[in-house]
């Protein structure tokens, strides 16, 4: 470890201890737990180092959030926020190699639910925040460290609530880093690209309804709501939305082409995608809008044809596509299907400026041959809520990963884990980055 940056090794213990606090968020109040305990753990670690912390419950008991500030040298510059969500998705212990809330450190990994989504950044930012305070480090601008509830259920009782009801907590914050980015992807001959998230797709929930004629299951039926819905769902599932190359996706694919020597054909990027390994599932989803059916509900008795049926699609839209997307949906499902639509907008920023320069310097100080590339996340994060306050988002939770690790499969997956050396690397990079941001 370079002599100039040390003392953030406690990141491993912090990550393990955070994972041990079960913060399962099922999206239902009855199945959601642990956020208050995790927030109190974070507040205690910060207070030990000399911070004043603010604990806020976001609209419901137990939905704990913690915020702390470290003053910087130039208060006239906007503050930079580092935010992490403390909640995790459920884990079924019987499917795992280790208990998902053990925080076990073995075989070079810290294991458990939240290891990459996203107690790793919570632990890294805690380690760096503690070190800065203890060592009297004055960063170039104010830093805000935020630890939040409820991201996994859309932040309604987390970032969304705080932005709506307590915006003063984020006074002066102009930029933020958080998930999902900063991780390495080995392409070409062992060259590590680090993917910095500069954009997120928009999210839409599409509900389709059909009506038909109810009746006895033994009779002839030509107006069956379930059959009509099933046909519409199958048509929409088979529909491919048009290829639209947005700037971050184009820049990312051009960068991979540059690193691998594989030609990038803008009309057919399959060759470049083919060099990405498992990450192609996510990058491939940023080439066009997607609509995946996730729920289907109809019927109440095996010998009754019901009069109604409904289905839900999880839709992810590229910037500027909402109108065109809905037009296509209507044409595909047809006039006999009624639709409801609710959406959250995409997020995007440019890949330049002081923050990107600082990221590049911090990563290449620890991994000299690394190349940083912008990319678009196919999913959404708390960045959507903070966008409402005009806060610029970059996904940067630095992590050096082994070339063969299927990182995207770890998100919400079985045996979620984070490499110990990658986590230490990330804490060192974050330390360097926050000193020059």
Residues listed for the chain: 437
C-alpha 215/C-alpha 207 separation (Å) is 24
Least distance between Zn ion and beta carbon 64 (Å): 17
Q: Is 57 helix (H, G, I), strand (E, B) or coil?
A: strand
CB of 367: closest distance to Zn ion in angstroms?
Answer: 24
Helix ranges restricted to H, 194-246: 225-238
Q: How far is the CB of 180 from Zn ion (least distance, A)?
A: 7
Q: Please, which residues bridge with residue 197 across strands?
A: 375, 395
Query: Which residues are 70's β-sheet partners?
Result: 143
CB of 159 to Zn ion, least distance (A): 11
CB nearer to Zn ion: give 117 or 197. Answer: 117
Task: Please say which residue, 22 or 258, places its beta carbon nearer to Zn ion.
Answer: 22
Closer by beta carbon to Zn ion, 208 or else 385: 385
Nearest distance, CB of residue 151 and Zn ion, angstroms = 5
Q: Which is nearer to Zn ion, 79 or 116 (CB)?
A: 116
Residues that bind Zn ion (CB under 5 A): 117-118, 179
Letter string b/e over residues 273-289, b meaning 16 or more CB atoms within 10 A of that residue's CB = bebbbebeebbebbbbb
**Which residue do the tokens 């500030």 mark?**
69
Distance CA 135, CA 129 (A): 10
C-beta of 117 vs 251, nearer to Zn ion: 117
Give the residue closest to Zn ion by C-beta: 117
Q: In the complex with Zn ion, which residue's Cβ is closer, 203 or 225?
A: 203
CB of residue 116 to Zn ion, shortest distance in Å: 8
What is 144-199 written as a DSSP string?
EEEEES-GGGTSTTTHHHHHHH-GGGGTTEEEEEESS--EEEEETTTEEEEEEEEE
Cβ-based neighbour number of residue 166 at 10 Å: 15
């Amino acid at each position: 470890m370079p002599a100039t940056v040390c003392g953030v090794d406690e990141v491993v213990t912090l990550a393990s201890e955070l994972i041990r606090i079960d913060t399962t968020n099922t999206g239902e109040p009855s199945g959601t737990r642990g956020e208050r305990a995790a927030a109190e753990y974070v507040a205690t670690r910060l207070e030990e180092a000399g911070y004043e912390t603010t604990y806020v419950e976001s609209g419901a008991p137990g939905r704990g959030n913690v915020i702390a500030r470290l003053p910087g040298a130039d208060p006239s510059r906007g503050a930079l926020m580092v935010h992490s969500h403390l909640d995790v998705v459920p884990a079924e212990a019987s499917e795992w190699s280790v208990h998902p809330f053990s925080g076990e450190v073995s075989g070079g990994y810290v294991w458990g639910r939240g290891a990459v989504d996203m107690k790793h950044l919570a632990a890294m930012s805690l380690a760096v925040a503690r070190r800065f305070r203890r060592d009297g480090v004055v960063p170039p601008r104010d830093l805000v460290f935020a630890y939040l509830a409820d991201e996994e259920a859309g932040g309604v009782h987390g970032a969304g609530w705080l932005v709506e009801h307590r915006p003063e907590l984020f006074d002066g914050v102009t930029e933020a880093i958080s998930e999902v980015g900063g991780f390495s992807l080995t392409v070409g001959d062992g060259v590590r690209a680090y993917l910095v998230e500069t954009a997120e797709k928009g999210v839409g929930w599409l509900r389709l309804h059909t009506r038909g004629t109810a009746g006895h299951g033994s009779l002839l039926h030509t107006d069956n709501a379930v059959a009509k819905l099933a046909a519409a769902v199958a048509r929409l599932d088979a529909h491919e939305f048009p290829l639209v190359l947005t700037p971050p996706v184009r820049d990312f694919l051009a960068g991979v082409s540059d690193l691998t020597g594989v030609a990038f054909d803008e009309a057919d990027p399959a060759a470049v995608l083919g060099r990405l390994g498992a990450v192609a599932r996510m990058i491939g989803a940023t080439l066009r809008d997607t609509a995946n059916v996730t729920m289907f509900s109809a019927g109440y008795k095996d010998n009754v044809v019901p009069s109604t049926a409904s289905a839900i699609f999880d839709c992810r839209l590229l910037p500027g596509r909402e109108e065109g997307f809905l037009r296509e949906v209507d044409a595909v499902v047809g006039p006999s299907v009624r639709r409801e639509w609710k959406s959250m907008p995409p997020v995007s920023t440019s890949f330049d400026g002081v923050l990107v320069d600082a990221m590049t310097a911090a990563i290449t100080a620890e991994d000299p041959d690394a190349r940083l590339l912008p990319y678009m996340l196919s999913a959404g994060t708390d960045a959507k809520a903070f966008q409402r306050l005009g806060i610029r988002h970059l996904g940067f939770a630095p992590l050096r990963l082994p070339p063969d690790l299927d990182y995207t499969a770890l998100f919400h997956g079985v045996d979620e884990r984070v490499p110990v050396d990658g986590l230490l690397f990330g804490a060192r990079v974050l330390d360097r980055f926050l000193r020059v941001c």
